[in-house]
Amino acid sequence: MFTKILIANRGEIACRVIKTARKMGIATVAVYSDADREAVHVEMADEAVHIGPAAASQSYLVAEKIIAAAKATGAQAVHPGYGFLSERASFCEALEAEGIIFIGPKPKAIRAMGDKIESKKFANAAKVSTVPGWLGVIENAEHAVKIAGEIGYPVMLKASAGGGGKGMRIAWNEAEAREGFQSSRNEAQSSFGDDRIFIEKFIVDPRHIEIQVLGDAHGNCLYLGERECSIQRRNQKVVEEAPSPFLDEATRRAMGEQSVALAKAVDYQSAGTVEFIVDKDRNFYFLEMNTRLQVEHPVTELVTGIDLVEQMIRVAYGEKLALEQSDIKLNGWAVESRLYAEDPYRNFLPSIGRLTRYRPPEEGRFGDIVVRNDTGVVEGSEISMFYDPMLAKLCTWAPTRAEAIDAMAEALDSFVVDGIQHNIPFLSALMQHPRWREARLSTGFIAEEFPDGFAPIVPDEADRNTLAAIALAVELLRRDRLDRMSDRLAPHSGALKRDWEVRIGDDYVPVSILEGMISIPLEADVSVAGGAPLTIVSDWRPGEAVWRGTVGGRPIAAQIRQAVNGIRIAWKGMAVTARPMLPRIAELERLMPVKVPPDTSKLLLCPMPGLVVSIAVIDGQEVKAGETLAVVEAMKMENVLRAERDLTVVKINAKPGDSLAVDAVIMEFG
């Protein structure tokens, strides 16, 4: 077996590969850019080599620097992870020329399947069912509009060398095809150095289901079941699961056998993924083959018990697969949530900064539940604008789908992240969504269920009462702790007050303490809103970010943050500020005037930290609702800012090339 390998990647996937290499007794070499000097993968590896500036185009995407690092450290093989150079045949060939083994497929397979246009042609020739589309060169936006009209709207514009949702647009009409072509082309060029675009028919209400394949150099190839990846936002997967709740055994076998046939046709030697779109009648169409490890590979590992990274390394070394198709059994259910540094309350725009707190839930097996967290950051890590905003991949496994979802909901409620905005509130809300729980999925799920963007779930009466009980329990322990501090000037005197009110939103919820001692662990009986007695039990201590306990026998894990005169509680997609107070204070507070937020309707604010790509208007110009005002790029994604109503531009405060902070004023309107 190899004695030393280099990982040509960063972040959580580099850490993931290092873990398996360590388990196999293989030494590892990390590479890092200026921005990643203090990164976790650099610390985890046995050796680390600096390869250039922060921009990926000057570091992680420069094959010569990776090869030089491998030669300098004596690495016998290179694992590319995903993204960056993982699907570049020329990189594989350059490694082979230096006698270094590429832990992945051979150049022939990468060329045949790694390019979306060529893979479609190859699949058509191999009689694989594909979506109607145009695979030739598209010269310009007008040509794109002509082709789209011939195929029939809606159509999907895609970067040939694309991945991760970059360089993809859905067009429902000529205007969107024209504009989408240029944006896709720009993103493709900046992300992949390849601006070729192709167009295919967009299938309405499709599911995105992919088959994991594994082949060796001895002609053996098998499939390891499927993953359902239909929960997507802007064509980027957000939640995945294995197996798919939609497939029957016959469809699973047909998709698996077709995937294996395709892989064998290109002599595929590694782990790879064949992606399909599946319509409501379980008709499936080849989408593309990813000739690398997938981001969502952990859910397959959890239901099959097979370490895919280990298999990739063994195949690259020349070993024969020790598995046969009959050995592959799908056991239980696994769900993966991708944690992103993005603000769900601002249409999921990227967020950057330092992780002031980062406390993932405990990993391991807990009865029938398994919790796994693949991550590449720690508390104190800097989330930069140069790379993908993914923080971690949180996975849960359980015997059934419902149990796996419930385990994920609890794990998300226990995952503490501060210092940046993140999508945990959205993921928590998603785990409670009835359509998700019922598995009525499509790739349009998020757009359909959250058409106006994401807002926290509004608690119903029962949940509101539970939140009020938690808030009072926290406040009583906080006050008790203050009273026990030495040299405090004025601790309260007299008996504990029994009657309280907890303000949540505009509601004042009465809570009465019936019986119990205010101490740690806390156990008290309360009545909320005049209801039947509830017993609160918890060993929470002031300062802990996660409140764990039971309310009326219901197990709860909720996140606690201090707020002005109250407590911020996040639980199952709900986020409320609760303010416990005595009834007399509540009576007076009802008389306080309401503070109205400032009017920003006449300003175009930068929605996230980013780079101004273009300004589409001039001073004094009148624009109509929906017209483009500016384009801002963040984390390699172009964001088009449009007019929300008819208006007149009075003043432009930014120009192309400017780097702006969030909420910077781009332009003013009359």
Task: Please say whether the beta carbons of 426 and 570 come within 8 A.
Answer: no
Helix, strand, coil content of the chain in percent (nearest 5): 30, 35, 35
Count of CB atoms situated within 10 Å of the CB of 22: 14
Peptide bond into 434 cis (omega under 30): no
Q: How many residues does the chain have?
A: 670
**Other Cβ atoms closer than 10 A to 657:** 9
The whole-angstrom separation of Cα 538 and Cα 466 is: 13
**Which is nearest to 243 in space by CA: 257, 258, 253, 232?**
253
Closest CA to 373 of 348, 408, 425, 330: 408
Beta strands (DSSP E) in 349-433 are: 349-350, 353-354, 357-359, 364-366, 369-375, 382-383, 390-398, 416-418
Looking at 187, 200, 241, 288, which residue is catalytic? 288
438 is catalytic: no
Distances (CA, A) of 506 to 254, 578, 594: 56, 10, 11
Contact 558, 547 (CB under 8 A): yes
Contact 199, 173 (CB under 8 A): no
Bin 152: left if φ > 0, else alpha if -120 < ψ < 50, else beta: left
Question: Cα separation of 620 and 322, whole Å?
Answer: 71
What 3-state DSSP class applies to 72? Answer: helix
The DSSP code for 115 is S
| Residue 118, CA atoms < 13 Å, CB-side half-sphere | 12
Any idea which residues carry the catalytic annotation? 288
